[in-house]
Structure 1
Amino acid sequence: MKTENELFEYVSETERLVLRPLKKADYENWLNEFNRRYPSQHRHDTGRTDMSDCTEEWFNKLIDKHQNLALTDTAYIFGVFRQEDGTHVGMVDLSTIERGEFQWGRIGYSFHNRYWGKGYGREAVNEVLHMAFKCLSFHRIEAHINIDNPASIKLAENVGMEYECIRKGFIFEFGEWTDNLIYFKNLVE
């Protein structure tokens, strides 16, 4: 189990980005970027979202929840911010599937559609994979991707993840059990 102070070790910088857990002081930046999203570009893009329920009090509870998830090794959720101006451009998360002899996790990512096509996704996901293997001691990380989401497939491939299989009826979304492509990356020692 992690201590609260260890959470702040999971901060990393790339050439253009800072990846770190959200802080309560991020509320205005975070909310502003959700409100500035373009309309949905495809079925897997939520686009503009009604954020009226996302008050500062709600956000502070979300931060507490994220910290608890990290403290219990359940999930690590990173805000992605541009170094040049601190703008929140998206989120990347790691979830623990199984520890023990597996050391197995899952990666997820979501970027505000205003920032697509700039390489932020590839840069952030590469860095979180590095953190997963070097800082969090995972051996295997999977991405579970809808079969009709070519942008997510391309991102997984661009960060060196390999296609493994299709898991049939894997996740309940869009009102039905849907298939997912499984991409993976193992720690290379």
Structure 2
Amino acid sequence: MQTTIRTERLILRDPVLDDWAAIHEYSSDPDVVRHSMWGPNTEEETREYVEQMIEMRQEQPRMSYELVVTLKDSGELIGGCGIHKAGFNAEIGYTFNPRFWGRGYASEAAFALLRFGFEELGVHRIYATCRPANEASANVMKRIGMQREGRMREHLFFKGKFHDSELYSILRQEF
């Protein structure tokens, strides 16, 4: 079953293989992935990621949604976002092409994921994390109504060192 979420300016949809080049444009950019556990991607890694995203659709019941974000008016792929359900909780995340930063697209897509999680997936709590230095991501979480729960100290190891994460969440009744 194809997942499509429409907002005022965006369409969030399941990816197709031909999306890999647009995804690679931002997933290979060191500035974009500076705070991420992954990347910068090689072309092969991006193609494998797109294949994994497509395979997620086969999950029964489907618990993971990795979607591409496109502009409603032009269809241009500008980023990606995801929601992953685990019991009564779900985690969201988002990554955008820097050519489209600062226009509110991440907040619009993340808010759409909240609505999808609460209304379609029936979760009770949705959370997200970011590295402490990633103020732009923290601002998105605040803008969509998430509350900071605290800092998880050195709970992740990637790119050769331990990292902290800021944890934000929102409950269904707060949405």
- TM-score norm. by structure 2 comes to 0.84
Structure 1: 5+ residue stretches without partners: none
Letter in 2 for 1:90: G
Counterpart in the other structure of 1:68: 58
CA contact 1:109–1:125 (8 Å) conserved in 2: yes
TM superposition shift of 1:54:
4.6
For the residues of structure 2 that align with 1:171 and 1:11, how far apart are their CA atoms? 32
TM superposition shift of 1:76:
1.1
For the residues of structure 1 that align with 2:50 and 2:165, how far apart are their CA atoms? 33
Which stretches of structure 1, 4 residues or longer, exceed 6 Å deviation after superposition? 45-48
Which is greater in Rg?
A: 1
Identity rate, percent = 25
- Pair 1:80-2:69 in alignment: yes
1:40-55 alignment runs, 5 A limit: 40-41=30-31, 43-44=34-35, 49-51=41-43, 54=46
Counterpart in the other structure of 1:115: 100
Distance 1:36 1:134, change over 3 A: closer
For the residues of structure 1 that align with 2:22 and 2:91, how far apart are their CA atoms? 28
Letter in 2 for 1:85: S
For the residues of structure 1 that align with 2:91 and 2:135, how far apart are their CA atoms? 19
For the residues of structure 1 that align with 2:102 and 2:28, how far apart are their CA atoms? 14
CA contact 2:16–2:54 (8 Å) conserved in 1: no
What is the total number of aligned residue pairs between the two structures? 172
TM superposition shift of 1:156:
0.6
Counterpart in the other structure of 2:167: 182
For the residues of structure 1 that align with 2:81 and 2:50, how far apart are their CA atoms? 19
For the residues of structure 1 that align with 2:125 and 2:45, how far apart are their CA atoms? 36
Counterpart in the other structure of 1:15: 8
TM superposition shift of 1:48:
6.9
Counterpart in the other structure of 1:89: 78
CA contact 2:14–2:54 (8 Å) conserved in 1: no
Structure 2: 5+ residue stretches without partners: none
Counterpart in the other structure of 2:124: 139
